Every structure is written in C-alpha cells, then in structure tokens.
Amino acid sequence: MKLSILLKRVIFIGVLLAIWQGVYMSGYFPAIQFPPPTKVFQAMVEGFADGKLVSALLASFKHLLIGLGLAIGIGTLIGVLLGKSRQADETAGMYLIAMQSIPSIVWVPLAIMLIGLNETAVIFVVVLGGTFVMALNTRTAIHSVPPEFIKAARTMGTKGMRLFFKVEVPASLPYFMSGIRLAWAFSWRALMAGELLSNGPGLGYSLRYAMDFAQMEVVIGIIIIVGVIGSVVDQLIFSKMEKKVMRRWGLLK
C-alpha cells in the first residue's frame, strides 16, 4: 500500500519529466527559453557546487528565521491582547482582518522606501507577512479555550497568572500551532516577494538575477528549490508538530 503510493508518485514525476524532455526535443521553443530537465539539474548541481545557491539559501533562511521569529512574537502578543480584552478586540479586531487580507508583496515598495534597498527591508516584509495571521490565530486560540476548563481550574483555587499560564496557554496550544504553521507559510511567500525586489543576497534575489541574465535553467531550478523547501518544511516540521499536539489534546484520532 505505502510502496504503491510511492511508486505512483515516482512514475508521475517520471512522466512529467518525459513530457518536458519531449517538448524540448520537438524544438517548438527556442532552447534558451526552454531548457531540458538535464540542463536544469546541471545548473542546480553547479549552483550548489560553487556555493552561490548555498549562500543564497543561507541568506534566505536568515531573513526567514528573524522575520518569522518576530512575526510569531509580535503576533502572539497582539493575539493575546485581543483574545483577553474585549475592548481591544472590538476596537482593533476588524482592522487586523483587513491587514491580514493585504498580499505581502504590496508591502515591498513601502518597505524599500521606508528602510532602503537592504536586508532589513526584506525582513520587515517577512514580519508583516506572518504577524497578522499569527495574531488572528492566537486570538482564536484564546477564545476557543473550553470554558469548563476555566471553571474547573477556578474551583481548584487557580486564578490570575497561574490560570493563564497553566490552563489557558496549554488549552490554546492546538490553535496556536496552526497559527505558527500559517505564519510560516505566509512568511515564506512574503520572503520570496521581498527578496525578488531586493538587491540581495537571497534565493529570491538569485531568481531575479538569473532572469536578468536570461538563465532559464537557473530560474526553473530555483523555483523547484523554493517549492521543495516549502513543502518539506511544512510536512516535516510544522504539520507534524501541529498533528502531534492535536493528537495529544484528543482532537485527532
């Protein structure tokens, strides 16, 4: 069963590559616009070998880690404030949803004009990309703490800070984890948008550089890397953590 799924997936990729190779060999597109899979693969190997892709990747991860870390921190603070204070929620909750609906690429010109064409601007965009979704999910997490947990804890003499940290925080962990997973996803997209328009370093910048120099095989190679990292990080880290919490909390069987 497991093996047959794997087999299907491998065959699927194989077929795609074959079609790609076939279109290339038909000569319909000029080779400069449409490199064969082998050439893309070769470009990726070279990029890693000469260290260019590696340093771009490291720069991107640095932007992401700082930006996502800040987004999670700031988003959690805003979310807790809105979750705990009805006043704050009624006043600012709606605007948070509005902010969340702004595509992060829109922030790029603002960031560049405000901060300049540098890495800080990229990180700024990443932070904006992740903060709002984190805040919204943290707010939902606090609101979704079952009231019977609070009541039970209070009858056991728990109140104040202890009630918050020992009951409300752990009780809201499942939604909080979804928040982190979404913040990562949004930040990752924002990172690419920001880097694409920055002047480096970073994966997004390398992508635009390759475009400027008409290196289609590098463009495709980087797109593949971005896709692979996105799904691998989601599957191996964030989805896994979220599922683990959900299972322990009895929300998933």
Partner 1 sequence: MFLQMNNVAKTFAQHEVFSGIDLSIQENQFVSLLGPSGCGKSTLLSMVAGLESATEGSISLGGKTILEPGTDRGMVFQQPALFPWLTVRDNVTFPLKDKLSKKEQDQIAAHYLKMVHLTRFKEAYPHELSGGMQQRVAIARALAMDPKVLLMDEPFGALDEQTRHILHDELMKIFQETKKTILFVTHSIQEAIKLSDRVIVMGTRPGRIIADFPVDVERPRQRDNSRVIELEQEIMELLKGEINKVLKEELDHETKHFT
**Interacting residues toward partner 1 by CB under 8 A:** 146, 148-149, 151-159, 166-167, 170-171, 173, 248-250
Q: Which is nearer to partner 1, 168 or 217 (CB)?
A: 168
Closest CA to 164 of 85, 55, 107: 85
- Pairwise CA distance, residues 190 & 195, whole Å: 8
Shortest distance (Å) from residue 124 CB to partner 1: 35
Q: Which is nearer to partner 1, 120 or 158 (CB)?
A: 158
Contact (Cβ atoms closer than 8 angstroms) between residue 44 and residue 216: no
Shortest distance (Å) from residue 247 CB to partner 1: 8
Q: Which is nearer to partner 1, 166 or 240 (CB)?
A: 166
Shortest distance (Å) from residue 173 CB to partner 1: 7
Q: Which is nearer to partner 1, 3 or 161 (CB)?
A: 161
Helix axes 173-196, 203-212, angle to 10 degrees: 30
Shortest distance (Å) from residue 178 CB to partner 1: 16
DSSP string, 62-103: HHHHHHHHHHHHHHHHHHHHHHH-HHHHHHHHHHHHHHHTS-
Closest CA to 210 of 39, 38, 16: 39
Shortest distance (Å) from residue 251 CB to partner 1: 8
